[in-house]
Structure 1
Amino acid sequence: MSKLRLVIPLLATLPLLAACGGRITVQVLAEGAEAEPVDDVEVQFLPFDRDSLFAVMISQASTPEPAVPTDLQEAADTERELRDVWSAAESAWNNVRDSMRTINTRLENLDQRSVDYRRLFDRFGDLETEERSLNRQRQSAFDRFNEMQLATQQRVDSICIVIDSWEEATFANYGDVEEDLLAALGQEVMADTTDADGMASESASGGPWWVHARMNSAAGELYWNVVVEGASSDTLRLQRENADLRQGVRQRC
């Protein structure tokens, strides 16, 4: 496949880069109500849209992209739901066990004849009963999840081999095409890793720039490819709201 067939159409879609410089600052935040900063996430700053480049290469592939069978995708979705049920049951069980440990520590420092001791002792007994029930629930939830996972794993492995083989052939010269694009734009791909505050930044001249990162979450892989016009004093926050959520079979490949 000619690199020119890839580079020229993509260059035509890119705005000209301005000369001004500055910094692009990013903060990666965890999924959920707390939105805690996430460290050790690689963030790339690219002067072109990598998704557009992938789309061009896919459109010029010698064979169509392999499709995941509908029933296998549905099985993978069910497996994810069962995993979430198990995870919730595991969390509830652990919370009760933490409460039991806290009460046990307090009991060790109380007079067994005191009212507080009897009250906490009774509460510990109630938690023991709850813990046994939750333990059965979490084990049952795990068994259902594990059974579904084992039932689908061989088919998932098989389709992943097909997908990996197709991607290897389709994107074989991605590195060369990217190198030519960067040379034509007079730019380079930059990268930084988020710190304890979830922050990453790079000096950037011109624009636009595409900020790329990915991170696994309980719901699936969060994938960011967010365009910014150029350096700014504002911080770009990468969170669930501006991410693509990737789930199912392809996420496991």
Structure 2
Amino acid sequence: MRHLPRLFLPTALLVITACGGPRDVAVRVLIPGADSALAPSASLPIVALPYDRDSVLAAMEAQAARPRPHSAALDDLFARYQEPFAAYTVAIARADAFDDTLAAIRASLDTIARSAPEYQELYQRFADVTDSVAAADRVGQAAEQRLTATREELGGPIESLRVEVRAWEDLTFSGYDTLVQNLAESKMRLPATDTTGTDGWASLTLAPGKWWIYVRSWDAHDPNSEWYWNIPVTSDTVVLEPSNGQRRPRY
């Protein structure tokens, strides 16, 4: 068998790789909103990688001189912060719902004659909801004050521990960018990116070969956690949601 000269090997590989042709992959991201219902996540960066980033990070972390610091301490602080934060978001959502109801009733009143029988009934409903709005606002203000006090108490300790965690990460994962760049170049496939639209959809054009979709998204219920995905592409449509992702602390 005749061997190709080394000089022409990369070109030959590119020709072989291209034979399969690129494919379009649609990706959608759905995350729980403040009301816990799944909703599209807009303006979110979507990255397709020709390697498994989790495996790379795990291999580098296995060689660290010491384990990741302060995980247990940060978990405890995050838990103490999350409860008043959740109470505040629920209170604000409830107040917003009452405001929307009040606006809808007001709009209906503007279309009904005051002498009409249904006007008085609707006006009483307007008065009742107005009282509910005032009560919800008081609850929201109390929740905000509690959250502010918690932030002032825990913000400093959380940040000081995070500084040490970031220093550990900088040391442990030093050289990561060069390593994954070499990995991508060895596979002759560079990462592909797109950003989700208002409907949560993004589109990627991927060359033949193995790919992983990597995405990180905010968590509406906890500012100290995030949704994370790093999953292999096995079809032309990938839907990222809590069932196939991870809810991880933001150390």
Q: Deviations over 1:66-92 (max 9, x none)?
A: 12343x422321321221111111111
State the distance in 2 between where 1:157 and 1:225 align. 27
Q: Name the residue aligned to 1:225.
A: 230
Q: Name the residue aligned to 1:61.
A: 64
State the distance in 1 between where 2:88 and 2:123 align. 30
Residue 31 of structure 2 aligns to a residue in which SS?
A: coil
Deviation at 1:128, TM superposition (A): 2.0
Identity of aligned residues (%): 28
Note closer, same or farther for the CA distance 1:30–1:138 as it changes in structure 2 (3 Å cut).
same
Give runs of aligned pairs for residues 38-187 of structure 1, distance below 5 A.
38-70=41-73, 72-187=74-189
Q: Deviations over 1:122-157 (max 9, x none)?
A: 112211222222122121222222222211100011
Residue 20 of structure 2 aligns to a residue in which SS?
A: coil
2:31 and 2:38 in contact (8 A); partners too = yes
Deviation at 1:177, TM superposition (A): 0.9
Q: Deviations over 1:41-89 (max 9, x none)?
A: 111111111111111111122343212343x422321321221111111
1:68 and 1:159 in contact (8 A); partners too = no
TM-score (norm 2): 0.81
Deviation at 1:18, TM superposition (A): 10
Deviation at 1:102, TM superposition (A): 2.4
Residue 106 of structure 2 aligns to a residue in which SS?
A: helix
1:221 and 1:246 in contact (8 A); partners too = yes
* AA in 2 matched with 1:190: A
* AA in 1 matched with 2:80: T
* AA in 2 matched with 1:164: R
Q: Name the residue aligned to 2:209.
A: 207
State the distance in 2 between where 1:107 and 1:236 align. 47
State the distance in 2 between where 1:196 and 1:98 align. 22
2:77 and 2:158 in contact (8 A); partners too = no
Q: Deviations over 1:15-61 (max 9, x none)?
A: xx997332332122233675443332111111111111111111122
RMSD: 2.3
Which is further off, 131-140 or 192-201? 192-201
Q: Name the residue aligned to 1:8.
A: none
Match of 1:198 among 197, 200, 220: 200
* AA in 2 matched with 1:27: R
Note closer, same or farther for the CA distance 1:18–1:242 as it changes in structure 2 (3 Å cut).
farther
Note closer, same or farther for the CA distance 1:195–1:123 as it changes in structure 2 (3 Å cut).
closer
State the distance in 2 between where 1:197 and 1:221 align. 20
Tell me which stretches of 4 or more aligned residues in structure 1 moved more than 4 Å. none
2:28 and 2:202 in contact (8 A); partners too = yes
Q: Deviations over 1:176-229 (max 9, x none)?
A: 111221232222212122234322233323332111011113134111100124
Residue 237 of structure 1 aligns to a residue in which SS?
A: strand
State the distance in 1 between where 2:20 and 2:206 align. 8
* AA in 1 matched with 2:27: V
Q: Name the residue aligned to 1:10.
A: none
Structure 2 gap ranges (5+)? 1-16
Q: Name the residue aligned to 1:37.
A: 40
* AA in 2 matched with 1:84: A
State the distance in 2 between where 1:89 and 1:146 align. 14
Note closer, same or farther for the CA distance 1:59–1:19 as it changes in structure 2 (3 Å cut).
farther
